[in-house]
Amino acid sequence: MHQTFDAALEINLLHANQAGADHNRAHFDAWGITCFNLMSSPGAGKTVLLEKTLATLSSELKLAVIEGDMTTELDADRLRQYGVPVIAINTGRSCHLDAKMVAGGLHRLEQEHNPAELEVVFVENVGNLVCPAEFEVGEHAKVALLSLTEGEDKPLKYPIMFREANCLLITKMDLAPYLEADLQRIEANIRQMNSQATIIPVSARTGEGLDAWFNWVRQQVSKCNRSRPHRHLSAETPLAQI
């Protein structure tokens, strides 16, 4: 009985979160925004990837970031240096962002900026290989990062994140000469979970793979723009009216 109750509670929580995620996505679509949800374990390189991305793409796309962290705004402060809107969300004890938290971030974004002038929102999720993959936030694409230092077995041990991702970045490739990691084995393990995702080995230090990542982002933005109705909202249009 206890296991049945727990399973039912989990289903209800995920169902409620999915409804909230769909609501968030409707806002993104109405504003003409493409949203990316970046997920990984702590220290895999999400923030430095965003730093490189903001530095390169902010000259051609209007970007913003919703930055999830458990207790601080350290990563948010790093990203604010690039002159783009950054909304920080502290989750407290929660090990992931959920749709309700991101909805709160969208309300703040609407209060402080004009979302209809934006083209891309990156959501940097809390560092965790389990929960972020189960809770959609309204994103159009999920991006998972796996650092070369984490081992070849992570896609097999934490399958949900790798199964759900649209793009998988294998980070810290500059450390390859100092590790015994087998890149082909990592990619093979990812493919066991996900045969369709784009896999890009990258290094923020050397720049390896970053152009491929930037091009993938551009392609997703173009794809979303082609698929959605041409509808944009002014700063005066409240979220509740969408």
235 pLDDT above the threshold of 50: no
Q: Which helix (H) or strand (E) holds 213?
A: helix 210-227
Average pLDDT over residues 13-27: 92
Name the more confident of 4 and 12: 12
42 pLDDT above the threshold of 90: yes
4 pLDDT above the threshold of 60: no
Q: How confident is the model at residue 15 (pLDDT cuts 50, 70, 90)?
A: confident
The CATH class for the domain spanning 20-225 reads: alpha beta
Q: Is the dihedral of CA 168, 171, 176, 181 positive or negative?
A: negative
Torsions phi, psi of 21, nearest 5?
A: -65, -40
Helix (H, G, I), strand (E, B) or coil at 18: helix
Among the residues of 32-168, which ranges form H helices? 46-57, 74-80, 99-112, 154-157, 159-164
The C-alpha atoms of residue 122 and residue 45 are separated, in whole angstroms, by 14
Mean pLDDT of the residues in the chain: 91
DSSP-based helix, strand, coil % in the chain, nearest 5: 50, 15, 35
Within 10 A of 155 (CB to CB), how many other CB atoms are there?
Answer: 26
**75 CB contacts (<8 Å, ≥6 apart)?**
47, 67, 69, 124
The token duo for 5 is 């109750």
What digits encode the pLDDT tens for the residues 174-218? 999 999 999 999 999 999 999 999 999 999 999 999 999 999 999
Q: Which of 9-13, 123-127, 131-135, 222-226 has the lowest mean pLDDT?
A: 9-13
